[in-house]
Structure 1
Amino acid sequence: MIRTVNVFSPGDSRSITLWSNVPYMLCRALERCGYRVNRIDYHDNAFRRRKWLKPLVRLCDVIRLLGINFSVYTWFYYRSADRKIREADRKFPADLQITTSFDMCNRFSAKPNVVIGDWTQEYLYRRRLHRRVKGHDRVRILRQKQAIERSDYVVSLFPQCAEDMRVHYDNPRIFHLGCNAVNSVYDGVFDPEAVCRDKASSRKILFVGRKRYLRAARLLVESFADLLLSQPDAELHIVGLSASDLKVPPPAAASVHFYGYLNKADAAQCAQYYRLMLEARVFANPTPLWGGYSSTIEAMYFCNPVLISPYEDFTAEFGADNPFTYYCPEFTRQGLAGVLEGIFSEPAEAYAARCRAARAAVAEYTWENWVRRLIALVEKG
C-alpha cells in the first residue's frame, strides 16, 4: 500500500516554473490524491549557492551566448546528485521513489523506483535534431542509460518516445500511461459549451512560445499581416516573447500584442494567461518538428482548435486527421495565411464543433488521472 512518495527533481518542485510545470503539477496531484509527498531537490547544493560563484555563472552564460556549448552534467554533478539522493533516502522513508528526469534514479532504495521524463538526450539527437552526439553530452547519455536500466518503472510522457525506448534499452518496464497531463493551474469554473459558443465570435489568434520558437512567431506575424487585408479586426496575441524580440511593421503592429513571459505563480499574470486561453479563436505555433506540445494540449483543454505542424509525437497521439487541428502543410507566408483565412471564414457551427472536439480529446488529461494510472501500474507489480 503506497502512502508516502519521495519525488526527486533537478530543481525546486515547489516552483511552478521548473521543467514546464511538471514536477510542481505531479507533486500537487499526488497530494490531492491523498499521498504524503517529500520533495527533494538533488540539483541544489551549498557549493552552488556561494556568492563568489555568481561571477563564474555569469561568465558561463556569456560563453554560451558566443556559441560555445558545454554541459553542467559532469562527473562532479552526478556525484553531488547521488549524495543528495542517498541522504534523502535515509532521511525520508517512503513507499515509492519517483525521479522527474531520466538523468537520475534512487538506486539506494529497495522500494519501487520510477523515473519520469519526456524523451532521452539520445532520442533528442537521433530523432529530433538528426545529428551526431556532441562530446559534452556523452556523459549525460551514458548516465541516462544507467538510470533507465536500473529503474523498476520508466515512464515517458510521449507514446512515440516510449515505443522507441523499448527498442533501445534492455529494461522491459518502459511505459506510456495511455494519456498525458495538462499543466493547468486554472482554479476558476468554466462551462466548456458556453466557451465554445463565445469563441465563434473571437478574432484573436494566440501564440505561446519562448525564443526557441522565434522563427515560427516571425512567420506567423508575416502571415497575419496578409490576413489583415481581408480580416482587419483580427488580433495576434504573443505570450513568451516581447516586442523587442520581434519587429512588427506598421500597420500590423497595432494589431499584434506582446506579453513576454507570463508567470503562473503570479496571480495577475496567471489570470492574464488564462484569459487569453479562454478568449482565443485559435492557438497557433507553426514550428516544424515540434510545436510546443504542453501549451498545445493546454490550449485544447480550454476549447481551442490548434494550428500546428504535423509532428510525429502529436499525430501519434491524436492522429494525422482529426476534427480539431488545422495542420500547416507548408511553412511559407502564403501557405500559413491561407490556413488562417480558412479559420476566420469557417461557419460558426463547424467552428464550435472543432472547439468541442479539442476539449473532448484532452478532457481526461488531468494530473490526478495520470497519477492514478501511475500508482495502479506500480501496485499491480
Structure 2
Amino acid sequence: MGRNADIVERQSIKREDSQIEGSDLVFSLFPNIADYMKQRYENENIYYIGNVINSLYEVSETDLDIKANSNNLLFIGGKKYIEGAKTLIAAFKRLINNRKELKLYIVGIETTEFEDLPKNVFCYGYLDKGKDQDRELYYKLLKEAKVFINTTPKWGAFSASIEALYFYTPVIITPYDEFLNIYGKEIDFGFYCEKNSDILIEQKILKILNDKSYRDLCINAHNSVKEFTWDAYVDKIIKKIEEKNKCL
C-alpha cells in the first residue's frame, strides 16, 4: 500500500518475527516470499514446497464437454480486485456486440459496487463454501466456466486462479511476480495480460473462445496444478520434518 506500518501493525509484525525466528520449520506458499523471509530472518529453515488448492469438489475430464459448449466467463475476487472487474465489464460490453450468447459471472463483489451493468452480467458477492447452497453454486460456476479472468494490476487472486486451473479452466491473468516465479513467462493454459486494458482483455478472450485446441488448453490448465493437493503438500511437510529430525 506504499505506507509505513502503524503502531498496532508494528506490534503484530514484532510478534510474528519472534514466532518465525523461533520455529523449527517455516513454510511459505509462495517462492518469492520464502526468498524474502530467508533474507529477513536468521532462521535457516524456511522453505517453499508448493501451494495448495482448497477444493471440496472432485473434478473429471468429463467436465470438458460442459466447458467446450459453455459461453460463461468467470471473475473471482473481492472488492480489492474491483479495478480488474470493472475493466472486464468494459471488455464484456464490447464482446456482446457480436457474441450475444456470452454471460459474465462475478463472484466476490456485489452488484451495488458497479454502475450501468450490461445485460448478462451476474454478481453474487461472497460465496461461503461452508454453506451448502453457496458451495454448490461456486463449484457449478467453476465447472461451467469457459475462461477465468482477473487482470487486476500488481497482484492476482492466486488461490482462485489455481482453483480455476484445477477445474480445467484456461485463465487470463496479470503476470505478477509470484505467478511468473512458479510458471514462467510463457504459459500453455491461457494468457498473461500485461495491461489491465479492456481492448487487450477482449482480444485474449476471443483467442480462447476461437481456439480450435481449446480442450488442450483445459487439460494443460489442470496439469499445471494437479500436484497442489493437500495429500501431496502434507507428504512434503512430513518429509521435511523427518529430515530435520535426522539432523538433530
TM-score (norm 2): 0.93
Matched, 1:240 2:108: yes
Structure 2: tracts of 5 or more residues without a match: none
Task: Supply the distance in 1 between the matched residues of 2:116 and 2:206 (Cα, whole angstroms).
Answer: 20
Q: In the alignment, which residue of structure 1 is the partner of 2:6?
A: 134
**Secondary structure in structure 1 of the residue aligned to 2:224:** helix
2:53 is matched with which residue?
Answer: 182
- 1:153-174 Cα offsets, whole Å, 9 max, x none, are 1111111110111111110000
Aligned sequence identity (%): 34
Partner of 1:317: 182
* More RCO (CA 8 Å, sep 6+): 2
Q: 2:97: which partner in 1?
A: 229
Distance 1:328 1:131 in 2: 27
Structure 1 range deviating more: 272-281 or 210-219: 210-219
Query: 1:191-224: CA deviations, max 9, x gaps?
Result: 22x2234312211111111111111111111111
Q: Structure 2 matches for 1:1-381, cutoff 5 A?
A: 129-177=1-49, 179-186=50-57, 189-192=58-61, 194-249=62-117, 252=118, 254-347=119-212, 350-381=213-244
**Worse-matched range after superposition: 136-145 or 292-301:** 136-145
| Rounded Cα–Cα distance in structure 1 between residues aligned with 2:204 and 2:71 | 15
For residues 227 and 109 of structure 2, the distance between their equivalents in structure 1, rounded to whole angstroms, comes to 30
Using the TM superposition, give the Cα deviation of residue 135 of structure 1 relative to its aligned residue in structure 2, in angstroms.
Answer: 3.8
Residue-by-residue CA offset, 1:13-37 (whole Å, 9 max, x unaligned): xxxxxxxxxxxxxxxxxxxxxxxxx
Whole-angstrom CA distance in 2 between matches of 1:302 and 1:135: 42
Greater radius of gyration (CA): 1
- Count of residue correspondences: 244
Structure 2 CA distance for aligned equivalents of residues 141 and 320 of structure 1: 33
TM-superposed CA distance for 1:130, in Å, is: 4.2
Determine the C-alpha separation between the residues in 1 that align with 2:98 and 2:186: 28
Answer with 167-176 or 324-333: which moved more.
Answer: 324-333
What one-letter code is carried by the residue in structure 1 that aligns with 2:86?
Answer: R
**Cα distance in 1 between the residues matched to 2:223 and 2:25:** 29
TM-score (norm 1): 0.62
* Displacement of 1:367: 1.0
| C-alpha deviation, 1:300, in angstroms | 0.5
Matches of 1:331 and 1:209, distance apart in 2: 15
Partner Cα distance (2:95, 2:173) in 1: 17
Inter-partner Cα distance in structure 2 for 1:322 and 1:210: 25
CA separation in 1, counterparts of 2:78 and 2:95? 23
Q: For the structure 1 residues 256 and 307, does the alpha-carbon distance in structure 2 shift closer, same or farther, using more than 3 Å as the test?
A: same
Deviation, structure 1 residue 318: 1.2
The runs of 5 or more residues in structure 1 that have no matched partner are 1-128
Q: State how far apart, in whole Å, the 2-side matches of 1:242 and 1:137 are.
A: 29
Residue type of the partner of 2:231?
A: E
Deviations 1:288-321 (A, max 9, x none): 1111111110111000111110001011011110
Q: Which residue pairs with 1:55 in the alignment?
A: none
Partners of 2:183 and 2:116 in 1: how far apart?
A: 34
Cα contact 1:221–1:248 (8 A) shared by 2: no
Q: After superposition, what is the alpha-carbon deviation per residue over 1:143-186, rounded to whole angstroms, capped at 9, x for unaligned? A: 22111111111111111110111111110000111x21101112
1:237 partner letter: Y
Q: What CA distance in whole angstroms lies between the structure 2 residues aligned with 1:162 and 1:286?
A: 24
